[in-house]
């Protein structure tokens, strides 16, 4: 059967799994071990659904962490996704005769120097180091070749590749309930951003349905990007911010304000920002918010206690009716302006 035929078969809901030649070793393995540089679209949409249908348990390892002794076990089938790191290459070499098999999954043309030459120079160099330069090694190790498209399979037909289907789980194709938490602080709020980092880390562990959006430069992005479901937007000029927030609907707006001479002169403008977005605002219990925000009526005032902020965010993330009540009160307060 052609690779396209296998793709149609595997897409068929409830169809019995018939494993194409080149994947039988994986189906019979003790474990399917995926070496990756963290989660990715290709893993969720293509590789992992394929592996889960093969049957053996799937074990995911981050190649950015060096392998510990005994990480790869006899009977494992190892799948390298896109890139290969030197330490893991050595670990595979040492265990190769005891592995059930080895496959290299590629979702881009990382083998052709001409294709890589069309990319930005530093990125192309990274692809050569992490992928193209390893091709002779994979051939020497007797690797299978798994591709994401028929075009790649046709180009490298001499490698007898298997084409994996684009078959994401139903859960990934349906919108999920989500609570959007925003912090619209500028560069003058560096201390507040640092203070919020552990707070949001705890919130994201406790609430799988909260999605956080904040503003920041590259340094802020580097600090927050490892937190799940957190997006860092580039700072915007005021007209673009107005347009962006007019179209964005938020559920909870955060406005921590640490003590300091500069902060003492601020006004309660964040209440307007969050009211425009339909959010209930959580504010520090100090001026300018204390004495302006009516606690429990059109906003929430909180002490400088990280645990109190974690608990409050979690509480309001799970209280849609309460959020709607306080947001409506805030809107009515500014309606006559």
Task: State the Cα–Cα distance between residues 87 and 101, nearest whole angstrom.
Answer: 19
Choose the weakest-confidence range: 15-19, 26-30, 207-211, 322-326. Answer: 15-19
Residue 212: closest CA among 279, 271, 272: 279
Q: Are residues 147 and 184 in the same domain?
A: no
Where residue 50 falls (left for φ over 0; alpha for ψ -120 to 50; beta otherwise) is alpha
Provide the pLDDT for residue 172.
82
Residue 137: inside a domain = yes
Do 158 and 186 belong together in one domain? no
Is the pLDDT at 188 greater than 90, yes or no?
no
Structural domain total, the chain: 2
336 part of a folded domain:
no
Boundary of a domain, candidates 129, 155, 172: 172
Asked if pLDDT for residue 303 goes beyond 60, the answer is yes
Task: Band the pLDDT of 187: cuts 50, 70, 90.
Answer: confident
pLDDT tens track for 6-57: 334 334 334 444 455 557 899 999 999 999 998 899 999 999 999 999 999 9
The pLDDT of residue 246 is above 70: yes
SS3 letters across 175-229: CCCCEEEEECCCHHHHHHHHHHHHHHHHHHHHCCCEEEEEECCHHHHHHHCCCCC
Domain contains 16? yes
Clarify whether residues 19 and 119 are in a common domain.
yes
Boundary of a domain, candidates 152, 172, 192: 172
Integer CA distances (angstroms), 176 to 127, 151, 171, 172, 210, in order: 34, 33, 8, 9, 11
**Shared-domain flag, residues 188 and 229:** yes
Verify that 44 and 109 share a domain, yes or no. Answer: yes
Regarding whether 150 and 199 lie in a shared domain, the answer is no
What is the domain range of residue 48?
Answer: 3-172
Please list, in sequence order, all residues whose beta carbon lies within 8 angstroms of the beta carbon of residue 96, skipping any fewer than 6 positions away: 102, 141
Place of tokens 């005891």: 98
Percent of residues, the chain, with pLDDT higher than 70: 93
Residue 336 pLDDT: 66
For residue 1, pLDDT over 70 is answered with no
Residue 335, domain member (yes or no): no
How does DSSP classify residue 246?
A: H
Separation of alpha carbons 282 and 257, rounded Å: 11
Separation between Cα atoms, residue 211 and residue 104, nearest integer Å: 33
**pLDDT confidence of residue 171:** 81
Is residue 198 located within the same domain as residue 74?
no
Phi (first) and psi of residue 112, to 5 degrees:
-100, 115
Q: Are both 223 and 302 inside the same structural domain?
A: yes
Residue 91 has a CB neighbour count (10 Å cut-off) of 20
Q: How many CB atoms are located within 10 Å of the residue 197 CB?
A: 15
- State the CATH number of the domain containing residue 312: 3.40.50.2000
Question: For the chain, first and last CA: distance in Å?
Answer: 70
Q: Are residues 239 and 324 in the same domain?
A: yes
In a domain, 267, yes or no: yes
pLDDT tens for 92-149 read 999 999 999 999 999 999 999 999 999 999 999 999 999 999 999 999 999 999 999 9
Query: Which pTM was predicted?
Result: 0.71
Share of the chain above pLDDT 90, in %: 81
Question: Which among 138, 172, 206 is the end of a domain?
Answer: 172
Q: Which of these, 267, 270, 242, lies nearest to 254 by C-alpha position?
A: 270
Residue at 253 is within a domain: yes
Query: 254, 181 in Cβ contact below 8 A?
Result: yes
Is residue 209 domain-shared with residue 98, that is, in the same domain?
no
Report the range of poorest mean pLDDT among 54-58, 172-176, 181-185.
Answer: 172-176
Rounded to whole angstroms, the Cα distance separating 194 from 222 reads 12
Rounded CA separation 50/153 (Å): 17
pLDDT of residue 24: 86
| CA 325 – CA 317 distance, rounded (Å) | 14
User: Can you tell me the distance from the alpha carbon of 180 to that of 230, in angstroms, rounded to the nearest whole number?
Assistant: 10
| 17 and 161 co-located in one domain | yes
3-state secondary structure of 147: strand
Residues 142 and 182 grouped into a single domain: no
**Average pLDDT in the chain:** 90
By C-alpha distance, which of 78, 122, 83 is closest to 101?
Answer: 78
Q: Which residue has the tokens 């293509």?
A: 46
Domain contains 140 = yes
- Is 337 within a domain? no
Contact 195, 310 (CB under 8 A): no
C-alpha to C-alpha distance for 259 and 313, rounded to whole angstroms: 21
DSSP conformational letter for 264: G
Distance between CA 279 and CA 213 in Å, rounded? 13
């Amino acid at each position: 059967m052609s690779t396209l035929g296998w793709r149609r078969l595997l897409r068929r809901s409830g169809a019995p799994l018939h494993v194409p030649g080149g994947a039988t070793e994986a189906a019979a393995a003790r474990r399917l071990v995926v070496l990756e540089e963290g989660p990715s679209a290709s893993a969720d949409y293509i590789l992992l659904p394929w592996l889960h249908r093969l049957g053996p348990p799937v074990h995911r390892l981050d190649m950015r962490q060096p392998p510990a002794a005994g990480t790869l076990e006899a009977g494992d089938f190892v799948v390298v996704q896109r890139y290969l790191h030197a330490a893991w290459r050595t670990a595979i070499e040492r265990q190769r005769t005891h592995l059930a098999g080895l496959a290299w999954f590629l979702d881009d043309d990382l083998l052709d120097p001409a294709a890589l030459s069309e990319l930005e120079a530093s990125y192309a160099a990274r692809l050569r180091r992490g992928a193209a330069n390893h091709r002779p090694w994979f051939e020497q190790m007797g690797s299978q070749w798994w591709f994401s498209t028929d075009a790649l399979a046709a180009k490298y037909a001499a490698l007898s590749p298997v084409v994996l289907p684009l078959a994401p789980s139903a859960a990934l194709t349906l919108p999920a309930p989500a609570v959007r938490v925003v912090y619209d602080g500028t560069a003058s709020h560096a201390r507040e951003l640092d203070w919020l980092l552990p707070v949001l880390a705890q919130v994201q562990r406790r609430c799988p349905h909260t999605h956080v959006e904040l503003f920041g430069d590259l340094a802020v992005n580097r600090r927050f990007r490892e937190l799940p479901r957190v997006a860092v937007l580039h700072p915007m000029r005021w007209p673009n911010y107005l347009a962006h927030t007019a179209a964005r609907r938020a559920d909870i707006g955060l406005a921590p304000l640490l003590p300091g001479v500069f902060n003492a002169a601020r006004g309660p403008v964040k209440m307007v920002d969050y009211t425009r977005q339909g959010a209930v605002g959580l504010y520090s219990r100090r001026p300018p918010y204390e004495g302006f925000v009516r606690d429990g009526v059109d906003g929430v005032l909180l002490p400088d206690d990280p645990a109190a902020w974690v608990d409050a965010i979690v509480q309001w993330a799970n209280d849609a009716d309460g959020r709607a009540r306080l947001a409506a009160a805030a809107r009515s307060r500014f309606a006559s302006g």
